[in-house]
Amino acid sequence: MYQDVILDHYKHPHGRGLRDGQAEVHHVNPTCGDEITLRVRMDGDVVGDISYEGQGCSISQASASVLNELLVGKDVADAQKIQETFLELMQSRGRIEPDEAMEEVLEDAVAFAGVSKYPARVKCALLSWMAWKDATAKALSTAPDPSGTTPEETA
């Protein structure tokens, strides 16, 4: 479960700290007390920045770092596809063995495949990703949205 990639991100997180953004959300995982405050800045259709602050286990902290590394700079539609793929992997209860196509989409995030076997920890891995989804929906609904994306609720 604790892949080196995960421990690396835990010990050396990317993009930690709160910076400017159009939307902010605060999500908690009531079973273990993990918390995250996350801000999103959209530059047009591009994910300009994901900044965050929080406390929690190595899985939740590393996952936020991977989120930042993976999604910042991506077109929002691509970022949402990555988020959906990650969600699918994490909800697979260990049944999905990531193939090359999935690795290409998820990059470092495939390291969390093992976490999906531990139902108690899936929420830790998803905390920042659901927060990002929520914050992005907020940012897009406040800003005029030319792409017409309607975020759906899957949490």
Q: Give the footprint of another protein on this chain (CB under 8 A).
A: 1-2, 7, 10, 31-35, 55-59, 118, 120-121, 124
Q: Which of 30, 53, 63 is nearest to 129 (CA)?
A: 63
Structure tokens, 32: 């273990």
Q: Following DSSP, what letter does each residue of 21-90 receive, concatenated?
A: -SEEEEEEETTTTEEEEEEEEEETTEEEEEEEEEE--HHHHHHHHHHHHHHTTSBHHHHHHHHHHHHHHH
Select 70 or 124, whichever has its Cβ closest to another protein. 124
In the complex, the smallest distance separating the C-beta of residue 57 from another protein, rounded to whole angstroms, is: 4
In the complex, the smallest distance separating the C-beta of residue 42 from another protein, rounded to whole angstroms, is: 31
In the complex, the smallest distance separating the C-beta of residue 15 from another protein, rounded to whole angstroms, is: 20
Relative to beta strand 46-55, strand 34-43 is antiparallel
Q: What angle do CA 80, 36, 52 make, to 5 degrees?
A: 70
In the complex, the smallest distance separating the C-beta of residue 32 from another protein, rounded to whole angstroms, is: 5
Select 9 or 41, whichever has its Cβ closest to another protein. 9
Select 59 or 82, whichever has its Cβ closest to another protein. 59
Select 60 or 136, whichever has its Cβ closest to another protein. 60
